[in-house]
Structure 1
């Protein structure tokens, strides 16, 4: 920890350092959710040509490298760190802004893909209701609840994670029971989820891996708890790495059993809710309803929380002068929430859920996340060079490995995702240039230029 970070003003009220190592790991697992690979299982299966578990493990390698870099940067900048802070401090403020802009896309896309998945899952219960009706229903519900200040508490999130843990146990038991009743199978049967020579394609595997990254999104949230962690210099980096590892192992078990239990070559009734149909095959209508209902509730909670998170990030960017303050920096006087931003994100969810597929939304989210991960890896590499050059060769090598693997995965995102994501990035650059030239926009209150950093930072 730096001397500046260690020095605390005696008169300043600080957060209580009460979180232990395992508290941080549990927080990370709750953020990611133990059922993380289930919603995206179908699209990974489709793109990786049946090699879901291999794609999950390939993504794990990149995430482990990156988690080490996050840990090092959290140790260097221990006060509520984030990717755009690390990049801005270690590389350049403009690159930090671009990282934050790409992360803003992630925040906006998260409730969008939750809206899509919730609508598909609801159709499993009520297939006669048109998809568009459910899209409008869930987007309006997320927006209405957030406008009224309804937030999911940490206790509710922990309870949901525990419930999803029970669901995973039920799925694993049902899968093992199903496989037992299949009778004797050759050894090659159990190797097929890892490698099937009849369908394997390196390009397909990399495409699947670019989507499988979604399984790990959220581990970096642990770095925001450095002000509340005991011995953050040790506990935060270790918790970030262990959370990634636990997520990868648990996700691999879930998808491995799912692949074994679904006949190869058989199409799923709905690719977006494929794992729900696997649960119905191994556990009948009851397990189908349990898994579908549980994942539906989990995505409702995630959609609400991520919509409010997106609104708050836009609020911070508006108050910082990065985007027009009059609209994005406004806070509703009664409910004390960024109402304009909540409504905007709600509208984007409706339009996006009708225009985008779940797969495109997922790949766009990963576009921004992978760019942020590459930025953190490069920042960690530069930090190592600045601190000790070749004396820091091992962490520098790990950071370089994280950058190369994330960049390679990013290159294998779909063409449409890269086009839309790049357009978003260029829009951010253009907006940054305009704001740099206009210290005060017409109609904006004084101090709204890009140099104003008095606003909150998400």
Structure 2
């Protein structure tokens, strides 16, 4: 089913509705990268004493609360911008800007981290090829596909996700076969992977905080709201499906892998999954897992770059970022080409970065956004005077409050470097906000919509001599 571009009164190009539920779900799963469960298995098993499935179950429960809140806000405000748009409409424009600024740490720099990890995988397999070649290759291909259009990128993502799922199915199949051959069929129903003498509530809590990072991506589908057919129905369903499907994949894969290798002791936790694959299926299976992880990084980078460019487009359209750059859409391709290029340029930082340094701060923005989206559901409920239903207090106050509590807890589990960088980034955002609002005397500029409950149709944008107060031209 092909969508059509939203019409506007000034004739400016708009995002085009072309995506259905399947494509949006695949996009979210690609961002989430299901194969990451193998990449982080050794780290989680070491930290939890061999109870990786329990860590993922606890993280899944925590993330479901926030996923529910994202679905609620996607129904209330079906526009691009994700947490930035929800918070500025439900709570306050100034707080919304700061949340959007904070989440830029995640959306803008995550593609760089993904490409860096993908380059590291390829360099390990082909040591004679310089790492920069792989990183630049990832950036060039991803940028080209995203510029061609979200439908092209979504179709490629579907193909890459299919291969990723096949690798996971193969790995789980080998795990089951290995357990049956070496321990008997009854061992498949063991409870040992969920907890043992080395597992404590503290280790599980710390493991869940790390495992929660694997779920980052369910929220990214909200950035495609204005490119999705029937978004008020499709986006909330996609958010829950991505969270649940991802959680099931993580728990099942972790369970069967933990059966093959009980406990959390490894010669090298970073390569634990590769060593386990080699034990079960020799060099062939190990090579297939490596290939799967490389493909997964490609799919994840493609999705992350698309999401980041849409967030910047929403902020540029509102003129809280320079509109001529960040609010630009290509008139024919209907894609935010300049924003896509910006994320590609930022990705080049990977040429001089390490994985440890790069991943130290991106989750600060993610958990900040999660917290405020939950609070937005509560604020939206209390702001509805005529339609407020007290019977919805549980679903629209209690549930999001629990979600916010989980997210604050996860935020406190970040290392001190991540929190320090996040606070510095927020301080810069406050300075930008001071400029936009003339020291908080006027509200931040915003693009107004004629009908947010249906297809968003922006009104004529202000002329160059009549921009919103504080707008960045």
Task: State how many pairs are aligned.
Answer: 432
Which of 277, 286, 301 matches 1:288?
Answer: 286
Alignment partner, residue 92 of structure 2: 92
Q: Which runs of 5+ in 1 are unaligned?
A: 1-7, 440-444
Q: Secondary structure at the match of 1:182?
A: helix
Deviations 1:195-218 (A, max 9, x none): 1222x2433322322221222222
Deviations 1:148-178 (A, max 9, x none): 6775622211111111111111111100111
**Hey, what's the Cα distance between the residues in 2 that align with 1:251 and 1:266?**
20
Q: How far is 1:291 from its partner?
A: 1.0
Residues 1:102 and 1:9: Cα distance change in structure 2 (over 3 Å): closer
**Hey, what's the Cα distance between the residues in 2 that align with 1:194 and 1:82?**
35
Q: Which runs of 5+ in 2 are unaligned?
A: 1-6, 443-463
Alignment partner, residue 371 of structure 1: 368
Deviations 1:7-26 (A, max 9, x none): x9999999887766556544
Residues 1:138 and 1:430: Cα distance change in structure 2 (over 3 Å): farther
Q: How far is 1:185 from its partner?
A: 9.1
Alignment partner, residue 405 of structure 2: 404
Alignment partner, residue 348 of structure 1: 349
Q: How does 1:92-111 map to 2 (within 5 A)?
A: 92-111=92-111
Deviates more, 1:92-101 or 1:108-117: 108-117
Q: How does 1:48-63 map to 2 (within 5 A)?
A: 48-63=48-63
Q: How far is 1:312 from its partner?
A: 6.2
Deviations 1:388-410 (A, max 9, x none): 26332121111111111111122
Matched, 1:212 2:207: no
Q: Secondary structure at the match of 1:78?
A: coil
Matched, 1:419 2:415: no
Alignment partner, residue 446 of structure 2: none
Q: How far is 1:436 from its partner?
A: 3.6
Alignment partner, residue 140 of structure 1: 136
**Hey, what's the Cα distance between the residues in 2 that align with 1:179 and 1:408?**
37
Q: How does 1:110-121 map to 2 (within 5 A)?
A: 110-121=110-121
In the alignment, is the contact (CA less than 8 A) between 1:83 and 1:100 conserved in 2? yes
Residues 1:211 and 1:75: Cα distance change in structure 2 (over 3 Å): same
**Hey, what's the Cα distance between the residues in 1 that align with 2:9 and 2:465?**
33
Residues 1:143 and 1:450: Cα distance change in structure 2 (over 3 Å): farther
Residues 1:314 and 1:81: Cα distance change in structure 2 (over 3 Å): closer
Matched, 1:73 2:73: yes
Q: Secondary structure at the match of 1:452?
A: coil
Deviates more, 1:44-53 or 1:413-422: 44-53
Q: How far is 1:142 from its partner?
A: 3.5
Give TM-score scaled by structure 1 length: 0.80
Residues 1:219 and 1:309: Cα distance change in structure 2 (over 3 Å): closer
Matched, 1:236 2:235: yes
In the alignment, is the contact (CA less than 8 A) between 2:45 and 2:264 conserved in 1? no
Residues 1:39 and 1:296: Cα distance change in structure 2 (over 3 Å): same
Residues 1:450 and 1:11: Cα distance change in structure 2 (over 3 Å): closer
**Hey, what's the Cα distance between the residues in 2 that align with 1:435 and 1:189?**
59
Alignment partner, residue 451 of structure 1: 470
Deviations 1:378-431 (A, max 9, x none): 000112223326332121111111111111122112222222222222222233
In the alignment, is the contact (CA less than 8 A) between 1:60 and 1:248 conserved in 2? yes
Q: Secondary structure at the match of 1:430?
A: helix
**Hey, what's the Cα distance between the residues in 2 that align with 1:287 and 1:213?**
27
Q: Secondary structure at the match of 2:301?
A: helix
Q: How far is 1:48 from its partner?
A: 3.3
In the alignment, is the contact (CA less than 8 A) between 1:210 and 1:366 conserved in 2? no
Q: How does 1:273-352 map to 2 (within 5 A)?
A: 273-304=271-302, 306-307=304-305, 310=308, 313-314=311-312, 317=315, 321-323=319-321, 337-338=338-339, 341-342=342-343, 344-351=345-352
**Hey, what's the Cα distance between the residues in 2 that align with 1:373 and 1:100?**
11
**Hey, what's the Cα distance between the residues in 2 that align with 1:313 and 1:235?**
19
Q: Secondary structure at the match of 2:194?
A: coil
Which of 354, 376, 380 matches 2:377?
Answer: 380
